[in-house]
Copies of this chain bind each other. A is one copy, B any other.
Amino acid sequence: MTDNAPTAPNVSIALLHYPVYDKNHQIVTTAVTNLDLHDIARSAKTFGLHRYYVITPVGEQRTLAERIRAHWLEGWGASYNPKRKAALELMQVVDSLDTALAELEKYYGKRAKIVITGAAGRQNSISCPQLTELFRDVDQSYLLLFGTGWGLTEEVFNRADYVLEPIKGRGAYNHLSVRSAAAIILDRLLGER
């Protein structure tokens, strides 16, 4: 198996900077964070995903994310750290969830199913093993959504085909960073044990 073997070819991940809640339940656009790009790209590459979408409607923020990507793909970073290049190649910066979905539909010829992880859990939650089982049907693609700020809005939740059960630790505290949550979910869904 080579470094570039796509081994979860029908699964992609997206990080939304809009629409998400802030601390006071207002709908806002959050800022792109450098380590969100790197950490989630590295996790996506490790677990063999098709693509990592970074979604923000703010043009300047997209330019910033593109510049970071270009640094590691073409700039000095590419020779300094080829492993980073391999990860950030998966990353694509787009203006909206609909753009990401349209691109996936064009690639696969079929609409991707939307999967959301909620810290709270929902009535129609499915478990990680159930979703892993669904992934076996490679004719269907999936897009896992993660929110920044204080989480994805109801509007986004209402578009989900599946809501994934929340990550449980060892107590009531449940405030992982989005980078940690994405890593754990990908490991639960696609990690080899």
Contacts and interface: CB of A to CB of B under 8 A. Distances in A.
A95 interface: no
Interface stretch (A56-64, A66-74, A152-160, A165-173): A165-173
Contact of A171 (B1, B179, B182): B1
A177 interface: yes
A102 interface: no
Contacts of A174: 46
Contacts of A180: 39, 42-43, 179-180, 182-183
Interface of A: 1-3, 5, 7-8, 23, 35, 38-39, 42-43, 45-48, 80-81, 83-84, 86-87, 128, 167-177, 179-184, 186-188, 190-193
Contact of A46 (B83, B176, B179, B190): B176
Contacts of A87: 173, 175
B172 A176 contact: no
Contacts of A167: 46, 187, 191
A181 B174 CA distance: 18
A1 B174 CA distance: 13
